[in-house]
Structure 1
Amino acid sequence: MSKSIQWPCWVFFLILGNHSVASADDHHLQLLDVFNLEYIADPQISPDGKQVLYSRHFKDIMTDKNHSNLWLVDADGKNNRPLTTGNHSDYAAQWSNDGTKIVYLSNQHDNKVKLYLMWLDTRQTLALTNTVNPPANVSWSKDDQQLVFTQFVPGSQNSLIKMPAKPEGAIWNKPPVYINDMNYRADGRGFLQPGHRQIFTLPVSGGTPRQLTHSDHDHQSPVWSADQKSIYFVANLHENHEFEPLNSEVYALQLDDLSIKPLTNRFGPDAAISLSPNGRQLAYLGFDDTYQGHTVRKLYVMNTDGTDSRLVSGQLDRSIQSYQWANDSKGFYVQYTDQGDGKLARMKLSGSYQVLTGALGGLSLGRPYNAAAFSVADDGRVAYTLGGPDHPADLAVWKSGKTTQLTSVNADLLNHKQTAQVQELWWQSDIDQRNIQGWLVTPPDFDANKKYPMILEIHGGPFASYGSVFSAEVQLFAAAGYVVLYANPRGSTGYGQEFANLIHHDYPNHDYHDLMSGVNAAIARGFVDEDQLFVTGGSGGGVLTAWIIGHTDRFKAAVVAKPVINWISFVLYADNPGFFYKYWFPEKPWEAPEHYLKRSPLSYVGNVTTPTMLLTGEEDHRTPMAETEQYYAALKLQQVPSAMVRIPGASHGIAARPSNLVAKVVSILAWFEKYRTPAM
C-alpha cells in the first residue's frame, strides 16, 4: 500500500539535483534566504505627523518562528530606532490622542500575550493585563484615560452525556465531547473552546478590566463615543447568526446601564466602524447582502444615533479594504486594490475621490497577494507600506503629492542578489475576449533567445487578487530556472463587481479559459518551451489546478495544493458550512447534487493523465485533508503517477511557519524536476 510522503527538507535538496535552488549561484535567491526576509507592517503615524511607529517582522531560523519588534522613526527618515527588541512578537501598537504614549500587545514575558503601556519620553513600560486570553481591538478614549478592548471569555458546554462514575483507580479514556454548535472548529484554531469575545474597559493607570458584555455572541471593534458615555461595537446578535454569518450590525452600548441599541438594521455585514474627529458621525464598511459570491465592500456614514445612514463610496466600483477619517471630518482616506495595484485615495463625503498614490502592498511574503496598511496624521501626512515586485513591504510617507521611502529592510539581503524580473501582461480570453491581467516572471540571467520551462501559478480565494508585489515562492521558482506566469482570471477582485461575479455559481469553469489564454500569450513571447509547461496553485488555485488537468493534458506535471476536490464533501466538512453553500451554490448539496458534481474536479479525474502531486497541511480545516485524500485515491485508482505531501501541524496558511514555506517550494520543485526535461 502506498504511503503519503513526509520527507525531511534535506531530502529535497538532493532530489532537485542540478536544477535546485540550493545549488544556484549565490547571487540568486536561496531557499534559506526565506529566513532572512523582513518586512514592516502596521505603520502608525503620530497625530502631529512627526514620527511613525511601525512593527518590523523577522524570522528565527533556530526556532522556526516569526517575530516582530516595534520601531520609531522621524517622518523624514531620521532617528530610525527600535522601541523593543528580542525574539518575541510586539504588535498592534496605538498612539494616544496626545501622542505621548502608546499601547501595544506583546508576548515578551512568559510567552503570554499582554497589553502594555509605554511612555515615549522615558520608554518605561507597564503591563496592563495578565490574563490567559489576550486582549484585541484596543482603542483609546478621547481623554486618554481609558482603554476599551475585546477579550475571549471561556464558557461552559453542558453535555447531555452523563458518564457513570468510574471505579476508584480505574484508568478510562477522556469523556466524550458533546458538540451542538454548527461552527465547532476553525482553521488555524482547531476545535473551538466554548465561549465568546466580550468587551472590556480598563483605566490606563491599570487595575482590573471591567467586563461590559455577557452575551452568547462575539463582539468586535469597540470604539469610544466622544463624550465617553457609550461604546460603539460590531456584532451579529441575531438569533439565526449561525445561518446568516455575515449579517452583523453596529450597536451602541450605554455605560450607565449597559443597555444595547442597534444602530443599523439592513441585511448584510456592517463592520469596521470609526468615529469622526468631531464626534458626530460613525463610518462603517458593508453592503446589502444578496448572496453573491463576491460583493464590493462599500463605505457608509451615519449619525451616532443611527439616523441618516448614507452611502459614500458609490462612485468607486472597488472594495474598500481600509479607511480613515480626514481630520476635518469632511471625508476619508481609503485603501483599495485596482487591477493588481494597491491604491490610496482621498474621498469626499459626496463620494468623489482623487487617487493620491499607488504601490501599497508587500505584506504577503509567500505568494503575490495584495495586502497593505496605512495611517494618516492630523496634517494629512500618510504613512503606508510600500511594496513592489523586487522587495517586501517597506515604510513610506506621502505628503502633498510626494512619496519618501524611509526603510529598506531587505537591502542587506537583496542588493547583492539578482532577482527575477516581473512584467505586466494583458491578453484576451478566448471564450469572450475579456481583457485579463497577469504577470510574467523571468529567471535571473534571463536570455530572451533561449527557451525556458514555465510554471502557471494560480491564486486562491477565488475572490482575491495577485499583483505587482514581491513573492518569495515565485522568486524561488524563477531562481530554479522557470518562467512563472501568475494572473487574475475572472472572479478576481480589483476589477469591479461584475468581473468578480462572472464566476458566481460557475466556479471553476470559464476562468479556466482565461488562464489557458494567458498560457498561450506567454508562449507567444517566444521564450517559453511549450513542451515544458507546469501548473500549481493553492486553495482556490488548487481547485483550478485540479480542474485544468481534468480538461487538458498540456502540462507535464501538476502540484495541487490544499484543494477542494468534491464540493459536496467540502461544504459539509469545511469550517464554515453556513457560508459556503449559501454564497457559492444555489441550493444545498442534497437539493442540487448535479450542480455540485459538475463543478467538482473529482468528476473529471477519469480524464487526468498529468503526473500530479497533492500538498496540504494536516491541520487544515478550510480545505480539509479529506479533500486531498479523495483525489489521491482517485488518481491512484486511475493509475496516474501521483504523490501526496502532508505538512505536519500546518493549517490552511501553510507558510505561517518559515520552514513550511520552504517545504512547500522544495516539494513543488522536486515534483516538477522529476518530469522536467534536462537542459541540453
Structure 2
Amino acid sequence: MNHYRPLNRVYANLFVFAAQLLLVFSAASSAQDVKGSLQLEDVFEFEFASDPQISPDGRSIVYVRNYYDIMTDRRRSDLWVVGEGLSNQPFLPDAQYSDPFSPRWSPDGKKLAFVTSDASGRSQIFCYWADTGKIGRLTNLTQSPSGVAWSPDGSKIAFFMRVPDSTKPIAKLPKQPEGAKWAEGAKVIDRLVYRADGRGFLPYGYSHLFVLSADGGTPRQMTSGDFDHGGGIAWGDDSRSIVISSNRNPNRDDEPRNSELYRVSMENGKIEALTDRFGPDTNPEAGPDGSIAYLGFDDKLLGYQNTEIYLRAKDGSTKILTSGLDRSAGSPTWNPGTKTWNFTYSDRGNSKVASIDGSGRVKVLAENYGSNSNGRPYGGSGPVSVSRNGTIAFTVTGPARPGDVAIVTPEGETRILTELNADLLSARRLGEVKEIVYKSSHDGIEIQGWYITPPDFDPSRKYPLILEIHGGPFADYGDRFTAELQLMAAKGYVVLYTNPRGSTSYGEEFANFIHHNYPGNDYDDLISGVDAMIEKGFVDQNRLFVTGGSGGGVLSAWIVGKTDRFRAAVVAKPVINWYSFVLNSDNTNFYYKYWFPGFPWDDPEPYLRRSPLSLVGNVKTPTMLLTGEADLRTPISESEQFYTALKLRKIDSVMVRIPGASHGIAARPSHLMAKVAHILAWFDKYGGAEDRERIP
C-alpha cells in the first residue's frame, strides 16, 4: 500500500493550505475591518419577507417572515401580520406551528388557510378563524400540499399533491434471513428525468389536483393518470370548475415546455383542454366574466423567449395583452378596484409592479419589486396580492433592503410597511452601489452594470477589482440587496457586476444575442466593463480578479482561457464540457435542443468549441474551482475536469468542495460563508490584500 502515500500527502497538503488561507483571512479581517462593516456571521442575522397576502378588506397583510437559525444552519419562517392599526407582529399565537407558509385568505376574509408541519413532520393544511382566533387542522395528508386556493364561495380549498407510484422490479432476490442486515437495494431507473437539483433522486409518482371541504375531512382527487399537474389554480366564478396547467402530451419527456390549460369539472372530474399550441401555457388566474389570464409563448426552441400574458375570454377567444412590452411578464392578478390586471416584470435590472388593461396599455405602479435572501442581486419573484378596493401588497428590495412588505394604494402611493433589518443595518456600513453604463468593444451596444465600493471608499486611492458574473445565463442582476458582494466590498474590494448580452430585462433580441453562441461576445461585454472601471481612476489595473457562479462560472473559466490579465480567478459551479453536461445535468431533456442545434454525438463541434475545456491549454491564471458536492445542475464532475486539466498543466489551482451543497450553495448560511471566505482568501493570496496591514 506504499504507492498510495504520495497521493495522500498531496491531499493533506491541500487541506493544510486551505486552513492556512482561512486563518490568514480571519486574522486580516480582525485587523483591517472598518468598525461596523459587514461580517461573515451577519448572514445569520438577515431577514426577508415573502408571499404577502392582503385581506379582502385591505386592512391587514399576512406574510412569511424568513430568518436563519444559527444553531441548525437552516432557513426558518413564521407568519407575521401588518396593516391598518396593526404594528408588525406575529400572526400565530405560539411556536407550535413549524415553518408555516402559503397563507391564503378566504374570499370573505373570515378565514386564513396556511401550510405547516404536524408533529410527525408532514405538511398539513391548517385554518385560522378570524372571529374566534382559533386554529384547526384540516387535513391528514401523507404528502406535502402546494398551490392552496379557496373557491369563490369559500366552501372548498383546492391544492396539488404528489400521488406516489412504483415500478415493477426487474430482478428478484432471495429473501434475507431474519435479523440479517443486507445492503440497500438496487435503484432501478427507467425515466429520462430521474433526479433534480436540491431534491436528489425523484420519487415515482405524479402531482394531482385535490379538493377539500373548507371544514376539513378527506380531500377528493380530481385528476389521474401518469401526468404532473400544477402551475396555478384558477377557480371558475361559480366554484364548479378549476383551470390548471399540465403537460399531458404523449411525448412530454421530449417536450418539457409544452403544457396546456385544462378545465376540471367539480361535478364529474371531466377534463377539457382549453389551449392547444406548442409552448407553455401556465399560471392561470381568474378574471371577470369567466375570463382567464395566463402565461406562455409560442415555443421556437430559442435560448430565451419573453413570457407573455394571454387573456382568454369566456367564449374561447384569446389575445396577447403584453405583445408590445418586449419583457417577460409574471404574476397576473385581477384588480377589482381598478378593473385592470396587475403583473410584474423586470426592465434594465429593476423589477416592477404594473397594471395592464384590455388594450395592452401598461402603467408602472411600483419599482424595486422583489425580496432577496443572502445571495446575489437577482430579480424578484413571487406573488402580489390585491384587496377588493384595489390595494396591492408586494415585497420590495434595494441595495440596503433584503426584502420588506409594501403596498400600492388605490391612489397610486407606495408605502413600505416593514423594516425587518433596521436593527442590523443601523450598526453596519454597507458599500455604496452605483450604476455604470458603457459600450461593448465588440459592436458598441450599451451594457448596464453596477459596482460596489468599500464602506471607507476614498476615490484618490487605488483598489483591487472583482468582476462578479451572474448565472443563468438568461437572468439579470440589478440594484438589489446582495450579501455576497457586500461582504467582498467590506474587505476592501471594488465589486463590478453587469448584465452582458444574454441577460434578461433588456428585450428578447438582447437575450438571444447568445443563442447558440454562449460563451461568445458576452466576453467582450464583460472585459469592456472592467476597462470602463479602470478609466474611473480608482481601480488598480494590476489587481484584477474574476469570479462567477453557474453561467458566471462558465464565463469565468472562459475568461481565463482568453486572457491572463486577471491575477486570480474563482470558477464556481461551472460547466466546463458541454458534451458531458447535457448528458449529466438534471435537465437533460432541455439543454441539447434549446442551447444547441442537436445531440452532441450528431454534431460535436459546437459543444467543444463553446466549452471552456477547449481553452484550458491557454490558462495561466491561478484558479480555484468551487462547487457543491450535491450539485445536480452543474455537477461537480464538471469542476473536476477543469481542476485535473489545470493540475496536469502545472497551473496553480485548488478545488473547494462544499459537502451536501446543491447548485444554490447559499441555501445554508454556513455554505455561503464558506463560499465567500474561500473566494476572498484566494484573491488575498494573489495580491488582493497588498495594501492592508500585514499580520505578523
TM-score range, shorter chain: over 0.9
Post-superposition CA distance 1:338-388 (Å, at most 9, x none): 000111111011111111221112324310111144222222212221111
What is aligned with 1:80?
Answer: 88
Alpha-carbon distance in 2 for matches of 1:272, 1:185: 24
Alpha-carbon distance in 2 for matches of 1:571, 1:314: 32
| Greater Cα offset, 430-439 or 202-211 | 202-211
Q: CA deviation at 1:209?
A: 1.2
- 1:174 and 2:145 matched: no
Alpha-carbon distance in 1 for matches of 2:241, 2:17: 55
User: How many equivalent pairs are there?
Assistant: 677
Q: CA deviation at 1:9?
A: 10
Asked whether the 8 Å contact 1:6–1:647 carries over to 2, the reply is no
Among candidates 59, 82, 90, match of residue 50 of structure 1: 59
Q: CA deviation at 1:566?
A: 0.2
Q: CA deviation at 1:169?
A: 6.5
What is aligned with 1:649?
Answer: 660
- 1:395 and 2:408 matched: no
Alpha-carbon distance in 2 for matches of 1:10, 1:262: 60
Q: CA deviation at 1:100?
A: 1.2
Aligned residue for 2:367, secondary structure, equals strand
Aligned residue for 1:351, secondary structure, equals coil
Alpha-carbon distance in 2 for matches of 1:18, 1:594: 49
Amino acid at match of 1:314: S
- 1:34 and 2:46 matched: no
- 1:678 and 2:690 matched: yes
Alpha-carbon distance in 1 for matches of 2:180, 2:67: 49
What is aligned with 2:428?
Answer: 417
Distance 1:315 1:21, change over 3 A: farther
Amino acid at match of 1:593: P
Q: CA deviation at 1:12?
A: 5.7
Q: CA deviation at 1:10?
A: 8.1
What is aligned with 1:506?
Answer: 517
Amino acid at match of 1:420: G
- 1:457 and 2:459 matched: no
Among candidates 573, 576, 590, match of residue 587 of structure 2: 576
Alpha-carbon distance in 1 for matches of 2:524, 2:538: 22
Alpha-carbon distance in 2 for matches of 1:226, 1:3: 65
What is aligned with 1:157?
Answer: 167
Aligned residue for 1:359, secondary structure, equals coil
What is aligned with 2:325?
Answer: 316
- 1:127 and 2:142 matched: no
Amino acid at match of 2:660: G
Alpha-carbon distance in 2 for matches of 1:315, 1:407: 35
- 1:284 and 2:294 matched: yes
TM normalised by structure 1 equals 0.96
What is aligned with 1:496?
Answer: 507
Aligned residue for 1:577, secondary structure, equals coil
Asked whether the 8 Å contact 2:294–2:332 carries over to 1, the reply is no
Among candidates 235, 249, 259, match of residue 224 of structure 1: 235
Alpha-carbon distance in 2 for matches of 1:22, 1:30: 13
What is aligned with 2:492?
Answer: 481
- Structure 1 gap segments, 5+ residues each: none
| Greater Cα offset, 130-139 or 457-466 | 130-139
Distance 1:416 1:218, change over 3 A: same
Percent identity at matched positions?
A: 49
Asked whether the 8 Å contact 2:548–2:555 carries over to 1, the reply is yes
TM normalised by structure 2 equals 0.94
What is aligned with 1:183?
Answer: 193
Aligned residue for 1:245, secondary structure, equals coil
Q: CA deviation at 1:108?
A: 6.2
Q: CA deviation at 1:326?
A: 1.9
Amino acid at match of 1:202: L
Asked whether the 8 Å contact 2:337–2:389 carries over to 1, the reply is no
Alpha-carbon distance in 2 for matches of 1:648, 1:515: 31
Alpha-carbon distance in 2 for matches of 1:375, 1:75: 16
Among candidates 629, 636, 649, match of residue 625 of structure 1: 636
What is aligned with 2:157?
Answer: 147
Amino acid at match of 1:149: F
- Structure 2 gap segments, 5+ residues each: 1-6
- 1:269 and 2:277 matched: no
Q: CA deviation at 1:120?
A: 2.1
Alpha-carbon distance in 2 for matches of 1:225, 1:67: 35
What is aligned with 2:367?
Answer: 358
Distance 1:344 1:562, change over 3 A: same
Q: CA deviation at 1:3?
A: 3.4
Alpha-carbon distance in 1 for matches of 2:376, 2:345: 19
Alpha-carbon distance in 1 for matches of 2:157, 2:30: 49
Asked whether the 8 Å contact 2:338–2:390 carries over to 1, the reply is no
Asked whether the 8 Å contact 2:449–2:499 carries over to 1, the reply is yes
Q: CA deviation at 1:13?
A: 4.5
Alpha-carbon distance in 1 for matches of 2:429, 2:449: 22
Alpha-carbon distance in 2 for matches of 1:322, 1:222: 13
Post-superposition CA distance 1:430-470 (Å, at most 9, x none): 00000000001100010000000010000000000000001
Aligned residue for 1:321, secondary structure, equals strand
What is aligned with 2:4?
Answer: none
| Greater Cα offset, 511-520 or 123-132 | 123-132
